Amino acid sequence: MDLSEQTQIDEAEKQVQGREITVPLKYLQRDALNIRKASPARSVDELAALIHSQGLLQNLVVRPELSGKKAPKPTGRYGVVAGGRRLEALNLLFTQGKVPADFPVRCLEVSQDDAVSVSLAENCGREPLHGADQFDAFAALVELGKTVSQIADGWGISTLTVERRLKLAKISPKLMALYRDDKIELEQLMALTLTEDHGVQETIWENTPTWERSACNLRRKLTECDVPPNNPLAQFVGFAAYEAAGGNVRRDLFAENENAPGFMTEPALLQKLALERLEREAEAVRAEGGWQWVGVRTSLSYTDRQAFAHCHTLDVDPSEEQQQRLDAIEVLLSELEAKIDDLDQYDESATIDDLEAQQRAAESEREAIEQTLAQIDPNDLPLAGAVVYVDQRGELAVLRALVRVEDRKAQAAQGGAAAATGTAGASTAQAKAPKADYSEKLLRQLTAHRTAALRATLADSPAVALRVLAYQLAVQTGLSSRCASGDRPVEIRADTADVRKEGADLAKCKAQQEMEAHQERWGNLLPGDQRSLLAWVLAADDSQVLDLLAVCTASTLNTVQGREAPQPIADAIAAAVDLDMADWWEPTAESCLNSVPKAKVVDAVHEAAGAEAAASLEGLKKGEAVALAQQRLQGTRWLPPVLRAKG
C-alpha cells in the first residue's frame, strides 16, 4: 500500500460517525457490503481460543438491517461490515457450546453510507504482526509465569507450536535483528536453532557463503559431527541407553516428523556403549566352544571383510530325508526365479515381494540344512574364530568359522596348507565354500565375467600359461594321480565355451573384447591349412610360440558355474596372474543389480559406500533404488563375493 492509499483510509476513519452498542450473537450475520468476500485461508480456531480466554478485545462494526422499500424499518438484526473473522470465531464458540446464542457482542453501529468505507479501512489499513514480535510476546508470557500448556490452550494452538515459537525467541539477538530487517528467512532461522549457542549460530551464518545459506545446508553444517538417528550404531545402542549414560541429544523442534529422535552429539560415548554391548554378546559366542578367538567390531565393511577368509569345510553326506528336502528346495528356487524373471522388474506389487520372501525363506532353509552337513577342516580348527559386529540395519550379527588372513599365511609358510590338502579322508570330503547369495543364473553370468577376465589376463602372461598347460597335461596323461576331478578349469581338449551366452552384458565387456582382439590377431597371422601351420610353428621363435600357447591355453579356460563352490585351481591361476576383477567388472543394473532383491542392493551400497549412502535407498522403489545404487557404487571397486580374490 502506498502513502496516498493510507491517507485516504485514515481520512475515511476520521469521518465515520457511529455509536457503541451490544448485540446478541444470534442477531449478527455477515453483511453483503463487507468487502472481504472470502475469509482468510488461516483457521479461526486460534482466534476462537483467544476470544474465549481473553474476551473480545476489538468490537465488530455493524449496520442495522432494514426491511421495507418505501419506509425501511430496523428488523433488530445487524450485518457485520468489518470483523467477519471475529464473527466466525464467535459462531464457532457457539457450536462448541462455549458461549450462548444471546452472548453479548460489543459493536460499533455505523450508517449505511459509512459501511463500505469502514470495511475498506479495517481490511486494508491493518499491518500484520511481525513474527519476531510474536516470538517475543510468547517469551514474555513465560516470564509472567504462564506454562507452555496454558499458552497453548489460550491461543488454541498445540504445545509444539508454542515450544517452536519460544525456541525462535531464544535466537541470537543479532540474527533476530536481521530477521526483522528481512535479511534472513524464517526457515534459515529455524535451522540455526539446532544450537542454542549464539556464537555458533552467528559464526555458521557469517562463514557460510550467501549461495549456500539454504536451511538444509545450515542444518547439515550444525550436525555434520553428530550421529544421525538412522546410523547403525545409534539404532544398535538406542537413544534410551545413550541418554541414560549421560549422552546429549540435539533435537530439531522444526523437523517434519514431530517424533524424530534427534542427533547424538557424542560419538565417542556411542562407540563405547556399542563396544560394551558387543563384548557382552561376544561372551555367549565364546561359550559355544570351538572358537580360538572371538573379535568384536562396531561395523564390518567390505574392506574390513578382506582381513578374513572362511574356514575350509568338509562335506558330510546328507540323510535320505535331508537330500529329498534339498532337492525339493532347488526345484522351488528354480520355479521362483523363473516367475520373478517373467515379471516387470519395476513392478512393485505385492507379487514380487511375496516371491522374494518365499525365495529368502527357501534359501534360509537350504542354508540351515547345509550348515549341518559341513564340518570345519581339522587343519583349520586351530585358526577358526568368529566376529561379532553391528550390521547395516543396526542389529547384532555374528560371522562364524572365519580365519584371519595373516593366520592363513602363517600356516601356509609353515607348510600347513600342504598338510591340509593331503589329509586322510580328503578323497571322500570336498572343501565347501560359504553359501552364495545369488541365483544360479546370476552366478553363471558373474563367473562368466571372471572366465573372460582370466582368459584375457592369462593370454598376456605366456610364462604362467605355459605352466598351466604343463599342469593340465600332467593331469590328462595320468602322471599326477592325486589331482581331484572336480576342478579342472583348463580344458586341454581345446573346447572353447562361449561365455557371451551367459549374459547380455558379456558381449561388450572389456575382457571379452580384449580376448577377441587376441584371437583376431592370431587368426590373421597363422596359415589356414594344417601342414602350413605346422611348418610355421616349427620355424617360429620361442617368444612367438609362447605367445601362441598363452592365447590358446587361455581360450580353453572355463570357470562358469551355477552355484558358488571352491575352485582352488582357478583361484591359484588368478593369483598367479594377479587378477583383480575390479579392473574388469563394475556393478551396474544390467550386470548384477537388477537380478538381486532390493535388500541385496542396499547391502552392497552399505558395504561399499557406507550407511549414509545406503540409507538414501530406503523407501525407494526397486527401479529407483537400482539406478541410485549404480551411481553410489561407481568407482568404489565393489565386487560380489563370487568375484573377490580368495584368501
- What is the percent of the chain where pLDDT is above 70? 83
The pLDDT, as a whole number, for residue 237 is 94
Residue indicated by cell numbers 523407501: 619
- pLDDT at residue 247 above 70? yes
Question: Average pLDDT for residues 127-152, to the nearest whole number?
Answer: 80
Residue 342 lies in a domain: yes
Residue showing cell 470495511: 119
Between CA 264 and CA 248 the distance in angstroms is 6
Range of the domain at 545: 440-583
Q: For 97-101, 213-217, 415-419, which range has the lowest pLDDT when averaged over its residues?
A: 415-419
Shared-domain flag, residues 347 and 478: no
**Residue, of 163 and 547, whose pLDDT is higher:** 163
Distance CA 79, CA 77 (A): 7
**Domain match, 451 and 579 both:** yes
- Give the model's pLDDT for residue 251: 86
Residue that terminates a domain, selected from 125, 142, 169: 125
List, in sequence order, every residue forming a beta bridge with 30; answer none if it has no partner: 80
User: Is 203 among the domain residues?
Assistant: no
Chosen domain end from 95, 125, 155: 125
pLDDT for 124 equals 60
Domains of the chain: total: 3
Q: Is 63 exposed, middle or buried (0-12, 13-18, 19+ CB in 10 A)?
A: buried
Whether residues 578 and 448 share a domain: the answer is: yes
In which band, very low, low, confident or very high, does the pLDDT at 155 lie, cut at 50, 70 and 90?
Answer: confident
Check whether 171 has a pLDDT greater than 80.
Answer: yes
Quote the pLDDT of residue 261: 83
Query: Of 271-275, 310-314, 365-369, 574-578, which one has max mean pLDDT?
Result: 271-275
- Residue 569 predicted with pLDDT over 50: yes
Per-residue pLDDT at 486:
46
The pLDDT confidence band at residue 234, using thresholds 50, 70 and 90, is: very high
Q: Tell me: do 366 and 466 sit in the same domain.
A: no
Cα dist from 360 to 328, 399, 437, 472, 587, whole Å: 15, 19, 10, 40, 22
Min mean pLDDT across 137-151, 170-184, 408-422, 626-640 is at 408-422
Burial 574-611 (b: 16+ CB within 10 A, else e): bebbebbbeebbbbebebbbbbbbbebbbbbbbbbbbb
- Let me know whether 454 and 563 are in one domain: yes
Residue 154 has pLDDT above 80, yes or no: no
Confidence of residue 475 (pLDDT cuts 50, 70, 90): low
- Average confidence (pLDDT) over 362-380: 81
* pLDDT, tens only, 296-328: 999 888 778 888 888 887 778 888 888 889 889
Q: Which residues contact 249 (CB under 8 A, 6 or more apart)?
A: 239, 242, 243, 261, 262, 263, 264, 265
The partner residues of 82 in beta bridges, in order of sequence, read: 61
Q: Tell me which residue of 611, 490, 645, 617 sits closest to 554, measured CA to CA.
A: 490
Confidence of residue 445 (pLDDT cuts 50, 70, 90): confident
- Rounded to an integer, what distance in angstroms lies between the CA atom of residue 370 and that of residue 599? 23
Contact 511, 452 (CB under 8 A): yes
pLDDT at 244 > cutoff 90: yes
CA within 13 Å, CB half, 292: 14
266-288 pLDDT, tens digit per residue, is: 999 999 999 999 999 999 999 98
pLDDT at 419 over 60: no
Residues 455 and 550: their CA atoms lie apart, in Å, by 9
Name the residue among 175, 170, 203, 174 with its Cα closest to residue 188. 175
460: closest CA among 642, 643, 584, 569?
584
Q: Say whether both 452 and 552 belong to one domain.
A: yes
The grid coordinates of residue 144 equal: 509472567
**How many Cβ atoms are within 10 Å of 507's Cβ, its own excluded?**
13
Could you give phi then psi for residue 524, rounded to 5 degrees?
A: -80, -25
Question: What does the mean pLDDT of the chain come to?
Answer: 79
pLDDT recorded at residue 432:
45
Q: Does the pLDDT value for residue 645 go beyond 60?
A: yes
Let me know whether 462 and 334 are in one domain: no
In which band, very low, low, confident or very high, does the pLDDT at 117 lie, cut at 50, 70 and 90? Answer: low
Share of the chain above pLDDT 90, in %: 17
Compute CA distances 305 → 364, 376, 507, 599, whole Å: 22, 20, 32, 19
Task: Pick the closest to residue 180 from 126, 129, 130 (CA basis).
Answer: 130
* Segment 510-524, tens digit of pLDDT: 888 888 888 788 777
Tens-digit pLDDT profile for residues 8-49: 444 444 455 678 889 999 999 988 877 666 555 456 888 888
In a domain, 302, yes or no: no
Encode 360-389: b = buried (16+ Cβ within 10 Å), e = exposed: eebbeebeebbeebbebbebbeebbbbbbb
- The pLDDT of 619-632, averaged and rounded, is 84
> Hey, how many other C-beta atoms are within 10 angstroms of the C-beta on 61?
26
Q: Is the pLDDT of residue 547 over 70?
A: yes
- Asked whether the CA dihedral 280, 284, 285, 291 is positive or negative, the reply is positive
Q: Which of 257, 292, 297, 262 is nearest to 277 (CA)?
A: 297
3-class SS at 157? coil
The three-state DSSP-derived secondary structure of 448-468 is: HHHHHHHHHHHHCCHHHHHHH
- Kindly tell me if the per-residue pLDDT of 474 is higher than 90: no
Query: Which tens digits make up the pLDDT trace of 494-508?
Result: 566 777 777 777 777
For the purposes of burial, counting CB atoms within 10 Å of the CB of 422, is it exposed (0-12), middle (13-18) or buried (19 or more)? exposed
Same domain (yes/no): 447, 577: yes
pLDDT score recorded for residue 348: 55
**pTM assigned to the model:** 0.47
pLDDT at res. 30: 87
- Does 491 reside within a domain? yes
Helix residue spans in 306-372 (DSSP H): 320-342, 350-372
112 in any annotated domain: yes
Q: Is the pLDDT of residue 455 over 70?
A: yes
Q: What is the pLDDT of residue 198?
A: 93
Q: Say yes or no: 448 and 554 in one domain.
A: yes
**300 grid coordinates:** 564390518
- In a domain, residue 406? The reply is no
Q: Identify the bridge partners of residue 227 per DSSP, sorted by sequence position.
A: 264
pLDDT of 478 over the 60 cut: no
Which alpha helices (DSSP H) does 156-261 contain, by range? 159-169, 173-180, 186-192, 198-207, 215-223, 232-237, 239-244
Residues ≥6 apart with Cβ < 8 Å to 447:
502, 559, 560, 561, 642
- What pLDDT, on a 0 to 100 scale, did the predictor assign at position 275? 94
Asked which of 75-84, 256-265, 378-387 is least confident by mean pLDDT, the reply is 256-265
CA distance 554 to 470: 13
* Cα 482 to Cα 490: distance, rounded to the nearest angstrom: 17
- Does the structure show a pLDDT above 60 at 431? no
* pLDDT band at 135; cut points 50, 70, 90: confident
Specify if 158 maps to a domain. no
Asked if residue 363 and residue 498 are part of one domain, the reply reads: no
613 is a domain residue: no
CA distance 485 to 493: 15
Distance between CA atoms of residues 520 and 540, nearest Å: 19
Q: Are residues 334 and 469 in the same domain?
A: no
CB 355 within 8 A of CB 340: yes
367, 459: one domain: no
479 band by pLDDT with thresholds 50, 70 and 90: very low
**The CATH number of the domain where 57 resides is what?**
3.90.1530.30
* Segment among 203-212, 429-438, 461-470 with least mean pLDDT: 429-438
